[in-house]
């Protein structure tokens, strides 16, 4: 594996998931594959799960880890080609990324979207600048449009628990108090579709995702109808793609409840966390026996370790 920024780097998703399940058997047996190798974990945004699970995965492989909060420890960055740098931005990505590549064997980066300029976000300017100027394997720790390590962990979680060959997987929009990126739903959709699951996406009008991520899924505006017979219900808020970053007014109550879950096929609950309890879904579901959220989080180490292992094998 030469990089890991989307499902397109995963090869055959089901095969990669099987490989992860085998990594999971020995996840905590420290390996020597990464001995003498250093990963840089670069954060332009806050992180808890991603930070800790990726660091743990790297340690499990014997790697050294450098964590840099690029937003706080270092300098503000310029991304525009040809810029006259007379503003608050002290360093151009060309220099920063080129330099970092010389200090790390692998670079992993978190760069959220601004949710203001859709082209800027969907062109993945930050991530692509690193891909261009940082000449070592790049791993996304969630970029403007995707969160592939999360989605990979989600697929591992489904594979571990699925009781039918082609489960019905429903991605349902949930309420929230502020505008969130589309990265998690985009990414979940493309990964779930790639596994061959029957993917249904349900959300209010105005919250359609970018079609490039949802090809092969069914879009169903009626939440009840979508949930009916579901084996997995992935709960997630996101802001509008069409009216970019906005939160168009919503008709009906999208809070996920036990009544709604009664429509499912004893459906399992999934969420990438952090979750707004009793805003997105109710406590009873999160704390109930069908909740997979902690298992998903645990599988973040497995996903990261599988990816790092496959990259280390090519170094």
Asked if 215 and 221 touch (Cβ cutoff 8 Å), the reply is no
Q: What angle do CA 129, 130, 135 make, to 5 degrees?
A: 125
83 binds its own copies (CB under 8 A): yes
Residue 261 is encoded by which pair of tokens?
């879950």
110's enclosing H/E stretch is strand 106-110
Closer residue to its own copies, CB minimum distance, 68 or 192: 68
**Would you say 87 or 163 has its CB closer to its own copies?**
87
* Among positions 30, 212, 218, 257, the unique one binding its own copies when judged by CB under 8 A: 30
User: Given the complex with its own copies, which of 219 and 250 has the nearer CB atom?
Assistant: 250
**What does the block give as tokens for 141?**
């720790």
Residue nearer to its own copies on the CB measure, 28 or 212: 28
Residue 102: phi and psi, rounded to 5, are -80, -15
Query: Closest distance between its own copies and the C-beta of residue 89, in Å?
Result: 9
- The sign of the torsion formed by the CA atoms of 208, 211, 213, 214 equals positive
* Residue 32 near its own copies by CB under 8 A: no
Q: What is the DSSP secondary structure assignment for residue 7, as one 8-state letter?
A: G
State in angstroms the smallest separation of the CB of 93 from its own copies. 11
Please give the full DSSP string across 211-259, using - where no structure is assigned. Answer: HHHHTTSEE-S-HHHHHTT-SEEEEE----TTTTT------S---B-HH
Q: Tell me: does residue 212 bind its own copies (CB under 8 A).
A: no
Tell me how far apart the alpha carbons of residues 63 and 33 are, in angstroms, rounded to a whole number.
8
Window of 43-51, 156-164, 208-216, 224-232 that interacts with its own copies by CB under 8 A: 43-51
Q: Which residues bind its own copies (CB under 8 A)?
A: 28-30, 35-36, 38, 40, 43, 46-49, 51-53, 55-56, 59-60, 64, 66, 68-70, 72-75, 78, 82-87, 90-92, 94-96, 98-100, 102-104, 177, 273-279, 283, 286-287, 293-294, 297-298, 301
């Amino acid at each position: 594996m030469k990089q890991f920024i989307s499902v397109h780097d995963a090869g055959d998703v089901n095969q990669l998931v099987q490989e992860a399940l085998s990594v999971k058997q020995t996840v905590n047996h420290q390996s020597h594959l990464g001995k003498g190798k250093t990963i840089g974990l670069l954060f332009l945004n806050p992180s808890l799960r991603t930070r800790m699970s990726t660091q743990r995965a790297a340690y499990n492989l014997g790697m050294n880890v450098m964590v840099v909060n690029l937003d706080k420890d270092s300098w503000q960055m310029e991304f525009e080609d040809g810029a006259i740098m007379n503003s608050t931005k002290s360093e151009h990505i060309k220099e920063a990324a080129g330099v970092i590549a010389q200090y790390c064997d692998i670079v992993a980066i978190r760069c959220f979207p601004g949710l203001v300029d859709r082209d800027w976000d969907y062109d993945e300017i930050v991530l692509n600048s690193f891909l261009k100027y940082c000449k070592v394997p790049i791993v996304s720790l969630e970029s403007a449009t995707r969160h592939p390590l999360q989605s990979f962990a989600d697929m591992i979680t489904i594979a571990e628990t699925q009781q039918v060959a082609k489960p019905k997987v429903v991605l349902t929009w949930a309420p929230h108090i502020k505008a969130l990126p589309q990265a998690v739903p985009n990414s979940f959709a493309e990964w779930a579709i790639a596994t061959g699951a029957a993917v249904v996406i349900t959300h209010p009008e105005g919250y359609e995702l970018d079609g490039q991520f949802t090809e092969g899924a069914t879009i169903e505006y009626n939440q009840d109808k979508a949930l009916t017979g579901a084996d997995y219900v992935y709960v997630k808020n996101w802001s509008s793609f069409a009216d970019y970053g906005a939160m168009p007014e919503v008709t009906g109550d999208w809070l996920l409840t036990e009544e709604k879950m009664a429509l499912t096929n004893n459906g399992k609950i999934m969420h990438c966390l952090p979750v707004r309890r009793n805003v997105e879904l109710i406590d009873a579901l999160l704390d109930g026996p069908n909740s997979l959220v902690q298992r998903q989080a645990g599988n973040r180490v497995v996903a990261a370790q599988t990816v790092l292992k496959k990259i280390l094998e090519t170094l």
